[in-house]
Structure 1
Amino acid sequence: MRAISLFLLLGSWLATPVHATEARDWLLRMVEAERTQSFQGSFIYQRSGSFSTHRIWHGVDAEGQVRERLLQLDGPVQEVLRVNGRAQCVKGALADQVAADQSWPAREFNPEQLKDWYELRVAGESRVAGRPAVVLTVTPRDQHRYGFELHLDRETGLLLKSLLLNEKGQLLERFQFSTFDPGQPDEGDLRAGADCKPLQAVEVAKGKPDNWRSEWLPPGFNLSNVLERKSPISKELVACLVYGDGLARFSVFLEPLRGAAVEDARSQLGPTVAVSKRMSTEDGDVMVTVVGEIPLGTAERVALSMRSGPAQNTP
């Protein structure tokens, strides 16, 4: 499921080659199941002390089109409708987190890529929402990424529960189904509510990769995309560099200040951190902001390493 982040538990297990191969096979099955299998259910989501409940309908038709509707059941009404991973309409505060031309923020699992930076292991069995599940652990090999635990439905391979903890063992996020029903949802349940507003198109263009470079990146992270878009506040053209390691991702935003008075800042909400640093260049001061699901110290080091000049090539 792409609408909600996938999370795993930080552990100390050492993955044997057999366990690692079996874990990769389960991860591949999970990725395929999200694209090909329908389901519906209710789940809980916990982050930074906040707790909410949600309903999801996920339908795959005969042509392979994936239609997904997400509805928050408590607090302010929030709803998202996605087709093939792209948000079509949004209601509530979620409108600030998605754009019409971008997929829902999610972790991308690349088992072959992440095996160099995480230890994979089948850790045992569990039971979630009344269904037998297989537990996978993904343990980082360094301090620059988080560890995870996944509980996958034994019958379908779909994600039933996930946890994410930091290096101190503190829970950053929890996702867990309370009811789960495999099979095609009713067509009416896959239609958005009347108040779900279509997203306005946001101008995004491919950026110039030779504008910026990073003098330091966490091992395993590579530049995957370079974009430019107008800031909705300042209307300045903001460059965005996206990096990933096969699981974790972070973005670096570079916005000209044009004399604006702004200060350095740092914050964290669950696993998501934001670090802003003012940087001087030949063309004037720029605010460098790193946003992503990486440790705070890693984000700060990335922000301080940014330089104007030739950047890394986009794969």
Structure 2
Amino acid sequence: MRATVLLLFLGGLLAMPVQAADALVWVKRLSDVEQRQSFQGTFVYERNGVFSTHEIWHRADPGGAVRERLLQLDGPRQEVSRIDGVTQCIAGGMAGQLGGGPLWPARKFNAADLASWYDLRMLGESRIAGRDAMVIALVPRDQYRYGFELHIDQQTGLPLKSLLLNEKGQILERLQFTRVSIDTPDDAALQPSADCQAIRASKPEVSAKVPWHSEWVPPGFTLDGVSMQRSPVSEDQVASFDYGDGLARFSIFVEPLHGAKVDDARTQLGPTAVVAKRLNTDDGGMMVTVVGEIPSGTAERIAMSVRPQAQGAAAQ
């Protein structure tokens, strides 16, 4: 009996690295699917217990260009069109809901690096929108980020279902196809409607001389971009820092207060944490705001670590 139990135990230990290796293979397929796979379909988005239905057209051209169009099918008409991640036009309030990057949760990342911050596990197989999928769990190795459950199409590597989970396993955000086709959308499908109003893309001033930096960010998060942008409500310049670990993302904004009395704030909107902290300075104070799909405690620690940049030092 003891020998049988020992063999079963050793067999389980040996299977663990094999499962992790298999999961890594699937995550690697996911890492570049946005640039190589065209698709179109309908998906459900759930956040804070509220559901919405969307239609998406995504075309990855052989030359590397990516065109996308997203249309909300219920409630007020909302629409967005993008080329290579740059928004071309918007209808309704979609602008306030969507950040930069792709309209469906697939992005390019280094899968091996991702495995340093998430425990990759094979959970089995599933069937989503009539297609066979492999189920992968990405369990954070620390308390600074959320976990993911991904149902990856066995044929294409496309994520057919994505769940963002907190430390208790509760769903914070769900995106799930109800219908999907891997056919390439034609020009007519990608053409925005007349309601989609063209916007002029304002290029932020990218600078390595931003006078602020964060002394602490969670392990695995790297600085993707630093810029100075004009505030939407004043003539002030706002310092902006974008960080990511391949799956999770957050941004830091630093804006002058000019002596205005503003209280600290902390809000959790589903998976999105918003933490604002006043930083006292000689010229009237600054407001540091951290926004991202990270736990609020992580966002608060990041906000409290923002400091003036030493003269001549590069942003971190």
TM-score, length basis structure 2: 0.88
Q: Give distance in 1, aligned partners of 2:232 and 2:210.
A: 24
Matched, 1:61 2:55: no
Q: Which has the larger radius of gyration?
A: 2
Which residue in the other structure is 2:276 paired with?
276
RCO higher in structure (CA 8 A, sep ≥6): 1
Q: Give distance in 1, aligned partners of 2:265 and 2:183.
A: 46
Which residue in the other structure is 1:5 paired with?
none
Matched to 2:253, the amino acid is: F
The 10-residue stretch of structure 1 (234-243 or 194-203) with the greater mean CA deviation from structure 2: 194-203
Offset at residue 202 of structure 1 (A): 2.2
- Shift of the 236–168 alpha-carbon distance from structure 1 to 2, 3 Å rule, reads same
Q: What does 1:109-148 align with in structure 2 at a 5 Å threshold?
A: 109-148=109-148
Matched, 1:266 2:272: no
Offset at residue 75 of structure 1 (A): 0.3
Question: CA deviation digits over 1:176-227, x for unaligned, max 9?
Answer: 0011111112331111101111112324101344612323222222333211
Question: CA deviation digits over 1:233-260, x for unaligned, max 9?
Answer: 0221000122222321211110000122
Q: Give distance in 1, aligned partners of 2:314 and 2:240.
A: 14
Which residue in the other structure is 1:9 paired with?
none
Offset at residue 97 of structure 1 (A): 5.1
Work out the percentage of aligned pairs sharing the same amino acid: 55
Q: Give distance in 2, aligned partners of 1:66 and 1:201.
A: 17
| Aligned residues of 2:210 and 2:228 also touching (Cα < 8 A) | no
SS at match of 2:32: helix
Offset at residue 314 of structure 1 (A): 5.5
Matched, 1:47 2:43: no
Root-mean-square deviation (CA, aligned residues, Å) is 2.3
SS at match of 2:202: coil
Which residue in the other structure is 1:80 paired with?
80
Which residue in the other structure is 1:149 paired with?
149
Unmatched segments (≥5 aa) in structure 2 = 1-13
Q: Give distance in 2, aligned partners of 1:297 and 1:313.
A: 27
Matched to 1:216, the amino acid is: W
| Aligned residues of 1:210 and 1:310 also touching (Cα < 8 A) | no
Q: Deviating runs (4+, > 6 A) in structure 1?
A: none
| Aligned residues of 1:209 and 1:226 also touching (Cα < 8 A) | no
Q: Give distance in 1, aligned partners of 2:246 and 2:229.
A: 25
Question: CA deviation digits over 1:148-182, x for unaligned, max 9?
Answer: 00001111111110111111222100110011111
Which residue in the other structure is 1:302 paired with?
302
Which residue in the other structure is 1:8 paired with?
none
Q: Give distance in 2, aligned partners of 1:182 and 1:118.
A: 29
User: Of Structure 1 and Structure 2, which has the larger fraction of its residues in helix?
Assistant: 2
Unmatched segments (≥5 aa) in structure 1 = 1-13
Matched to 2:308, the amino acid is: S
- Shift of the 71–141 alpha-carbon distance from structure 1 to 2, 3 Å rule, reads same
- Shift of the 32–306 alpha-carbon distance from structure 1 to 2, 3 Å rule, reads closer
TM-score, length basis structure 1: 0.88
Question: CA deviation digits over 1:75-127, x for unaligned, max 9?
Answer: 0101111112222111111133568xx64586743312211111112221001
Q: What does 1:216-255 align with in structure 2 at a 5 Å threshold?
A: 216-255=216-255
Matched to 1:53, the amino acid is: T
| Aligned residues of 1:128 and 1:160 also touching (Cα < 8 A) | yes
